Homo-oligomer: A and B are copies of this chain.
Amino acid sequence: MRPATARCLRAAFCRESMSHVRYVLYAEQADAEQFPSLARLFRALALSQLTRAAANYRAVSELLGVYPAEALAHFVLDRTMDNLARSRDAESEAADEFYGPCLAVAKSQREAGVARGLKSSAEVSRRGAAMIDRTFRETQHAAEEPYIDDLCICRACGDVVEGPPPGSCSVCKGSDFTVVV
């Protein structure tokens, strides 16, 4: 793997690892505010980030060693409605300002496999932002938290899907899903 592409994957791993922990905390906060459905949504987002972080770690550890890794992290822990709004913004920003530029690097270095993964991650983040935004708007105008159907996560790309596991992932064609309870 070319060094600049590897740097992008290490940054992705760094970013996703931190986002994973942030979503774990947002889920705890939602539980504390008695929003079990929103807590489940945050747990699903946490698992999506962990799935992507693990995949990037595996991909990049062919260049084994100790490296610095850097990424932007969203340091905000607030009431759940604020956490929802921030998460939507964080997922949007990830798609446009992180995965997009990384994808350009991987393509320019003809790293086709890595590019495919980054393209999936951009799409997963965009869909995540849309799902969070929908939930945010439904919650804003409701007396109670909105009903959120079962959620499952594609074990290959981390896509978060409402409802039971589909036959294949509409982002990456993977067929293995984890249901979040």
Contact = CB atoms under 8 A, between A and B. Distances in A.
B75 A66 contact: yes
Indicate how many identical chains form the complex.
Answer: 2
Interface residues of A, number: 35
Given A68-B72, A69-B71, 17 more contacts: A10-B73, A14-B14, A14-B17, A14-B73, A17-B21, A21-B57, A22-B57, A24-B54, A25-B57, A25-B58, A61-B76, A65-B75, A65-B76, A66-B93, A68-B71, A69-B73, A70-B70
29 contacts: A10-B73, A13-B18, A13-B73, A14-B14, A17-B18, A17-B20, A17-B21, A18-B18, A20-B21, A21-B50, A21-B53, A21-B54, A22-B57, A24-B50, A25-B57, A58-B77, A60-B75, A61-B76, A63-B75, A64-B77, A66-B73, A66-B74, A66-B93, A67-B72, A67-B75, A68-B71, A68-B73, A69-B71, A70-B70
